[in-house]
Amino acid sequence: MRQTGVGSTDQAASDEAWWQDMPEVPTDDGTPFLAARMPPGRLTSVRVCGSAKAAARFLFLQGVAVVLGSLVFSVAVVGAVTTYFGKGFRHADLPATLHGKEDFSFNAKYWVPSYEDPGGYQVYENTYINGPLAAGDSRVRDILDSFVRCQELGGACAGFTCSRGDQECTVRQESFLRRGAEGVSSHVKPPQQLENEKPPTDPYPKPHVDTAPVPRAHKVVAPPRPRAPPPPQPSAQTGYASHPPQPGLPGSALMCNSFESCGGENFGMVSWRTSPRTLAAAAFDGFRGVNGDALAKATRVWRQAPPVLPGGGVATFGKVQEFVRELLSSDPYFSGGEAVPYVDLGTGAGGRVVAITQRQLAFNVANVLMGNDIPGGTGLGAALHRCTSSDIVLSLLSFLAVLAQELAGGGQGTMLVAAVPRGLDASWRSRLDNSALFDPSILVKVPGHPSWDAAPDFMSGGLAFQALTDIAGGDIGGGANLCHTANTQDESLVQFYSEVLAFSFFARGSGMLPSPMTFLGTRRYMNQLEGETSTQAPYLGRCGYIPERNWINTDIPRQTVSATLAGRTSPFAASAFVAAASTIAEHGRCQGGTMVNNECDAQRRHLDKDISKWFQAFEATMYNRVVQDAFRTIIRRVGTGPWGAGAWQGDSQHYFLTVWIATALLGVGAPSLDYYIYDHFCENAGNQCFLLGQGNGCAECIGRSGVGALRADRCGWQDIWGIVARFRGKPTRMLYEALLNVKPPPRQVFDVV
């Protein structure tokens, strides 16, 4: 092997130390194929001789043992195919064809990196990347922001080129280098990262690509940029588009306003009334989008006792303001920072989806806190203007405080999804005969009960892959109008699950998000919350309370899982929030005192409606197919308490059996049921005591509840464990028919079913 064109004789001599001949690989005809490591920092030419067969064999062996820390080049030409190691590689003068053992000889030129930057990118001085802009992004950034942007773009960005002391850089799709002016440098991702970031095989058809031969002798091919599929054509059989649009890149937004219409980060784009970058400068002047009374209370509490963060340290008010400034100065939707993709989740039919990252949602919140708005307004902005309680303000600022710590360095964070199912139907009936009742997990949260369970409360969001069931009404957040905690579960939950609260940004005008709706990847940011409550301090009959010190949840879940959205893999927090309303007994048919003791027959006469509602909320196929894989991946358990038997005073025995049936109808591989029993749930306190039966603590539970209207003489003989044992493994239809035709009171449902 002979080195040529390196430079002066002195330079060539100084480079000798860099050369290390690789082992010769003998061939059948005895002709060796040689390779060498190259001197760094310049364009270098070499002469390579050998045979095609020897080259192929060398590549096989070299692929098994790559020497890390060195730029090892390998070239084989068989039928005009070139393979290589190292993305800063440039080759030339390759012969068109070589056959079998035919000897070959050609010149090759290679760029070798000058050094490695702190981010692990290979730096090539006095070069520029001759290729298209990554994802069409023409924004000029400094070196740090360019690194962050290129990391965000994944396989669509191979590196970036900088000038003017690394202050003016642009991200590039490919890594084909050309000689540049003095002071220009190119930062190219290391080969292994580029290989790992190649997008997964796309399950949907691609648009036609011209396959005519294109000369590639002077070009290194970067991983393919994700392409948008052709316009979807609705299928007559399924009603879906034949291949729904996909988000442009992993981590980018996915929006659907129906089952047939989806798009990426440019879908439904709406402009901010004020440029976020203009507002950034005022981040330390106060949050002008917040009710003055609410902001004053929240600011006072925060400044008096800044909360501790999950990762350690304290979240000062100033740090939150600084993060708001950072968000407003950024472009998390890759749209120039002046607009956001938008789908109104507050109105319209099923199939609607909003899938965005934590940073993108935080960007929306920061804008609304600063008084920014979009045409028509948002539910979140309206709530911040009308609410005088500090709860909503503390919740949103705490969400930002935690993300300021978790997303330090500019990361996008995990994905969040809000999805609306299609309308109610009776498709579940077809599963009654081919499904069976499997064991639920029964978790007793009655203090002092022998079966008391220490597992995390479903309200706290502490179990991985468990969906919290929100006992919702028509709107998520209910009568409290998103403002504060209350003595009902649905009204309070949004204050603790700040991301669900923040998603009200996607309700137009002054509206709220309707139920049913599923949120994937959401977490609890606030203390203190559990199903068990009391009339004494600190709960005072409320469903959870927000303390004035250390109100941020320091045990916030960190477990993540990879799931696909429209065929592209993204990280999610392993938790979910599902809002679903039950049926209320027909007005006027029951008197209040009879309902708390399960004495009204009307409480037992809406089985089909409630199965339909539970099935609608928890059956994956009820949702847009672009989120079905993520739904199944994340929701593996359903956590609930007295769904249906809360503030609307349903019969807790009847509703447990309803939920058990409806969960069984979700099919094989569907989520399991985690059912929680309380003596003093924050809605319809004490009614679940009737699930325990006479011999298993029903009367004692009623006594502990302190609810005077409950009567221990209403405790039946059968308990929840006995009823499960009776129907365990039986066809779902057996219990369904028994419950559909259950006798009226006075006997409890478990005793007569």
Domain boundaries, the chain: 2-112, 116-196, 276-752
What is the band of 141 on the pLDDT scale with cuts at 50, 70, 90? confident
Query: Above 80 in pLDDT, residue 80?
Result: no
pLDDT digits (tens, 9 = 90+) for 648-704: 999 999 999 999 999 999 977 789 999 999 999 999 999 999 999 999 999 999 999
* Beta carbons of 610 and 576 less than 8 angstroms apart: no
Residue-level pLDDT at 607: 97
- For residue 183, the model assigns a pLDDT of 80
Residue 198's pLDDT band (cuts 50, 70, 90): low
Using DSSP's 3-state secondary structure scheme, residue 381 falls into helix
Average pLDDT, the chain: 81
Contacts of 537 (CB under 8 A, 6+ apart): none
pLDDT beyond 70 at 58:
no
DSSP string, 49-106: EEEHHHHHHHHHHHHH---TTS-B-----BTTB---S-TT-------S---TT-EEEE
Please give the sequence-ordered ranges of beta strands (E in DSSP) within 304-412, or none if there are none: 339-340, 353-357
Per-residue pLDDT, 593: 78
- CB count within 10 Å of CB 742 equals 21
The rounded distance, in Å, linking the Cα atoms of 176 and 299 is 53
Q: Under 8 Å CB-to-CB from 523, ≥6 apart: which residues?
A: 461, 497, 499, 556, 557, 573, 575
At 284 the three-state DSSP class reads helix
Q: Report the C-alpha gap between 661 and 737 in whole angstroms.
A: 11
Q: What is the pLDDT of residues 705-753, one digit of tens each?
A: 999 999 999 999 999 999 999 999 999 999 999 999 999 999 999 999 9
Whole-number pLDDT of residue 86: 33
528 class by beta-carbon count within 10 Å (0-12 exposed, 13-18 middle, 19+ buried):
middle
Torsion of CA 327, 333, 334, 336, to 10 degrees: -60
Name the one residue in this structure whose structure tokens are 């290194």.
220
Residues 60 and 56: their CA atoms lie apart, in Å, by: 6
Rounded Cα–Cα distance for residues 11 and 359 (Å): 50
Q: 116-196, which class in CATH?
A: alpha beta
Confirm if 342 and 355 have CB atoms less than 8 A apart.
no
**What is the H or E stretch that residue 276 is in?**
helix 276-280
Cα(580)–Cα(566) distance, rounded to whole angstroms? 25
Q: What is the mean pLDDT of residues 349-372?
A: 97
The DSSP bridge pattern shows strands 185-188 and 339-340 to be: unpaired
Reported as a single tens digit per residue, the pLDDT across 598-648 is 999 999 999 999 999 999 999 999 999 999 999 999 999 999 999 999 999
Give the Cα-Cα-Cα angle 476, 477, 478 (nearest 5 degrees).
Answer: 90
Q: How confident is the model at residue 39 (pLDDT cuts 50, 70, 90)?
A: very low
DSSP secondary structure code for residue 615 in this structure: H
Among the listed residues 96, 115, 123, 116, the one whose alpha carbon sits nearest the alpha carbon of residue 177: 123
711 vs 703: CA distance, rounded Å: 9
**Buried b vs exposed e over 61-79: b needs ≥16 C-beta within 10 Å?**
ebeeeeeeeebbbbbbbbe
In terms of phi and psi (left: phi > 0; alpha: psi -120 to 50; beta: otherwise), the region of 282 is alpha
Least Cα distance to 709 among 689, 688, 686, 692 occurs for 686
Measure the CA–CA gap between 351 and 345, rounded to whole angstroms: 10
Q: Which residues pair with 159 in a beta bridge?
A: 172, 188
Q: How far apart are CA 176 and CA 184, in angstroms?
A: 15
CA dist 622 and 602 (Å) reads 29
- At 111 the pLDDT is 63
**Rounded Cα distance, 121 and 116, in Å:** 6
Please check the confidence at residue 118 and state whether its pLDDT lies above 70. Answer: no
Which string of DSSP letters, residue by residue, matches 447-460? TT-TTB--SPPGGG
What mean pLDDT do residues 436-446 have?
A: 96
Let me know the angle formed at the C-alpha of 23 by 20 and 24, rounded to the nearest 5 degrees: 125
Mapped onto helix, strand or coil, the DSSP state of residue 379 is helix
The residue among 262, 260, 422 whose CA lies nearest residue 350 is 422
Q: For residue 305, what are its two tokens?
A: 């006792």
Q: Radius of gyration over alpha carbons of the chain, in Å?
A: 31
Question: What letter would DSSP give residue 436?
Answer: B
pLDDT of residue 365: 98
The tally of CA atoms less than 13 A away on the side-chain side of residue 410 is 15
Q: Percent of the chain at pLDDT above 90?
A: 61
133 near 170, Cβ under 8 Å? yes
Q: Which two tokens stand for residue 657?
A: 């059996």
Answer whether 658's CB lies under 8 Å from 612's CB. no
Strand partners, 570: 563
Q: How far apart are CA 748 and CA 521, in angstroms?
A: 39
pLDDT of 34 reads 35
* Residue 10 scores a pLDDT above 90: no
Mean pLDDT along residues 542-570: 93
Work out the number of other CB atoms within 10 angstroms of the CB of residue 601: 16
Q: Which residues contact 229 (CB under 8 A, 6 or more apart)?
A: 202, 204, 205, 206, 207, 243, 245, 246
In the three-class reduction of DSSP (H, G, I as helix; E, B as strand; rest coil), residue 152 is classed as helix
Sheet holding 168-172, edge to edge: 115-116, 122-125, 185-188, 159-163, 168-172
- Reported in sequence order, the residue ranges of 379-486 that DSSP labels E, i.e. its strands, are 415-419, 441-444, 466-472
Q: Which of 354, 358, 362 is nearest to 254 (CA)?
A: 354
And the tokens for 499? 């991301």
45 near 111, Cβ under 8 Å? no
- CA-to-CA dists, residue 141 to 165, 171, 330, 592, 653, angstroms: 12, 9, 11, 66, 62
Structure tokens given for 604: 């037992």
Contact criterion met (CB below 8 Å) for 46 and 3: yes
Q: Give the global pTM.
A: 0.70
Q: What angle do CA 288, 294, 300 make, to 5 degrees?
A: 100
pLDDT tens digits, one per residue of 290-326: 999 999 999 999 999 999 999 899 999 999 999 999 9
CA angle 126, 129, 130 (to 5 degrees): 120
Q: What is the pLDDT of residue 94?
A: 34
- Counting beta carbons within 10 angstroms of the beta carbon of residue 328, is it exposed (0 to 12), middle (13 to 18) or buried (19 or more)? buried
Structure tokens at 647: 């503030």
CA 496 centroid distance within chain = 18
